[in-house]
Amino acid sequence: MQLTCCGGLDLNYTAHLDDALQRLHDEGRYRTFIDIERRRGAYPHATWRRPDGTERPVTVWCGNDYLGMGQHPAVLAAMHEAIDATGAGSGGTRNISGTTIYHKALEAELADLHRKDAALLFTSAYIANDATLSTLPRLFPGLIIYSDALNHASMIEGVRRNGGAKRIFRHNDLDHLRELLAADDPAAPKLIAFESVYSMDGDFGPIEGICDLADEFGALTYMDEVHAVGMYGPRGAGVAERDGLMHRVDIINGTLAKAYGVMGGYIAADEKMCDAIRSYAPGFIFTTSLPPAIAAGAAASVRHLKTDQDRRDRHQTQAKILKTRLRGLGLPFIDHGTHIVPVIVGNPVHTKLLSDMLLDQHGIYVQPINFPTVPRGTERLRFTPSPVHGPDEMDRLVLALDDLWSQCALNRAELSA
């Protein structure tokens, strides 16, 4: 792929692509897709389609379908009913023929879930974060956004693209956040962007402390609950609901692709905020809306999990069991009390090797997590136990990790939370 420009300059685009990809290979960070086929009703069991055309049964231990709702009969029935009634796609953007009764019903469920006036549906939580955070400075001229250093890439991108002022505070450091707030013009509009559960280390954000600072300095609050909705709180609205703090958070971002097992993202806020984002955000205005069947399935999942506390309890129990067993083996994992179990390897090549060995030798699928998702030197295997991972799956995972840790002569020492 070589292009000769009108000025006579030869540009070898292929060489640049080769260099970029080779750097990833050299650093052990090149990512390989694993082709898996989920089997209805059998999750977390799936079929791995190998590159050589053969197949092998595997157990998925890194999925974001945290509660197995992607297989729930109520969700599947709602999707079948909607696709039979309406067909496949939505047919347009929300402004042009793409708003259906299914989209409106889902937004009503989400607004009720978070006890907000309204909710606004996006095609993903990434788009919801990016579109909302990049639009807010247009609504509040001079807005300063204070963003936690470990926020999601989608939040970082939204803050970066908005063209306004931004401040990055050290992760979960309320003192540093206070310093930054105090140093700025008291009359300037402000917004604090943070998360309730940080997915790579599995730690909680200090919601109450951030809300206290927001009240003191007259700031809005924007909280990402994507790794918490469905799983925390008496109705699954997230950590803010669990802690009785939902009313203090101005904008809540959530996903329908993790605990709810389907697809899509959203914000929940007061009616005027949602109306303004709907009216100004290009990421909402110019995107084809979710298929009605997806919206119907997501609404059924949200509705169901508002009352299924047993599933949430079993999820937390499975996470505690896995941590207890890893602790007994002395494996280096991080425990902040959430459902996420990161086992630290600390080297990208070794992390990829362990992932490959688990898949090839034990039929266990867990994807390596490397830079830039996590800092260099903290490469890890990130396990997400669920209510549908039974005792047999747990036994096989723990025995496999014990075997490979010994086989590869890796350190055994639990990391402090």
| Whether 320 is catalytic | no
Give me the catalytic one of 258, 272, 320, 323.
258
Region of residue 70 (phi > 0: left; psi between -120 and 50: alpha; otherwise: beta) = alpha
* Phi/psi of residue 360, nearest 5 degrees: -70, -40
Report how far apart the first and last C-alpha atoms of the chain are (Å, whole number).
50
* Phi/psi of residue 49, nearest 5 degrees: -90, 105
Rg (CA), the chain: 23
CA distance 198 to 203: 5
The Cβ of residue 212 has, within 10 Å, a number of other Cβ atoms equal to 14
Q: Kindly report the CA angle at 232 between 230 and 233, in degrees rounded to 5?
A: 105
- Residue (of 200, 189, 191) closest to 151 by Cα position: 200
Residues marked as catalytic: 258
